[in-house]
Structure 1
Amino acid sequence: MKMDHSLPSEYSTEQNRLKIFGFWIFLGAEIALFATLFATYFTLVNRTGNGPSGHDIFELTPVLIETIVLLTSSFTIGLAINAMRLNNKKAMMGFLVITLLLGLGFLGVEIFEFTHYVEIGAGLTVSAFTSGLLTLLGTHGIHVTLGFFWGLMILFQVKNRGLTAETTNKSFIFSLYWHFLDVVWIFIFSFVYLKGMM
Structure 2
Amino acid sequence: MAVAHGNVLSAEQAHEKPLEYQNPNQAVKILGFWIFLATDMLLFGCLFATYLVLRTHTDGGPTPQTIFDVPGFTTQTLVLLTSSFTGGLSTLAMRNGNKRQVIGWMIVTILLGLTFIGFEVTEFVSDALQGATMQRSAFLSAFFTLVGTHGSHVSIGIVWMIATVIQVAKKGLNPISARKVFVVNLYWHFLDVVWVFIFTIVYLSGVVM
TM-score grouping bracket, smaller chain normalisation: over 0.9
Q: How far has the Cα of 1:50 moved from its partner?
A: 2.0
Q: 2:150 aligns with which of 128, 140, 145?
A: 140
Number of positions where the alignment pairs a residue of Structure 1 with one of Structure 2: 195
Normalised to the residue count of structure 1, the TM-score between the two structures is 0.97
1:8 is matched with 18
Structure 1, unmatched stretches of 5+, are none
Match of 2:181 in 1: 171
Residue type matched to 2:187 in 1? Y
| TM-score normalized with structure 2 length | 0.92
Which sits farther off after the overlay, 54-63 or 126-135? 54-63
1:58 aligns with 2:58: no
Q: Could you tell me which residue of structure 2 aligns to residue 112 of structure 1?
A: 122
Q: 1:150 aligns with which of 149, 160, 169?
A: 160
Rg larger in structure: 2
Query: Structure 2: how far apart are the matches of 1:131 and 1:9?
Result: 44
Q: 1:121: how far off? A: 1.1
Q: Which of structure 1's runs of 4+ aligned residues deviate more than 4 A?
A: none
Whole-angstrom distance in 2 between the partners of 1:10 and 1:60: 40
Selected match of 1:47 from 57, 65, 74 = 57
The residue correspondences of 1:94-113 to structure 2 (distance < 5 A) are: 94-113=104-123
Q: 1:84 maps to which residue?
A: 94
Question: Gaps (5+ residues) in structure 2?
Answer: 1-11
- Quote the Cα distance in structure 1 between the aligned partners of 2:115 and 2:158: 11
Of 42, 45, 52, the residue aligned with 1:35 is 45
Partner of residue 3, structure 2: none
Aligned to 1:123: 133
1:166-191 deviation digits (Å, cap 9, x = unpaired)? 00001101011000000000000011
User: Does 2:84 match 1:74?
Assistant: yes
- Residues 95-151 of structure 1 deviation map (CA, whole Å, 9 limit, x = unaligned): 000000000000000000000110111100000000000000100000000000000
Aligned to 1:191: 201
Question: For 1:50, what is the secondary structure of its paired residue?
Answer: coil
Partner Cα distance (1:112, 1:126) in 2: 19
Larger displacement relative to structure 2 (53-62 or 130-139):
53-62
Structure 1: distance between partners of 2:69 and 2:207 = 8
**CA-to-partner distance for each residue in 1:26-48, whole Å, 9 max, x for gaps?**
00000000000000000100000
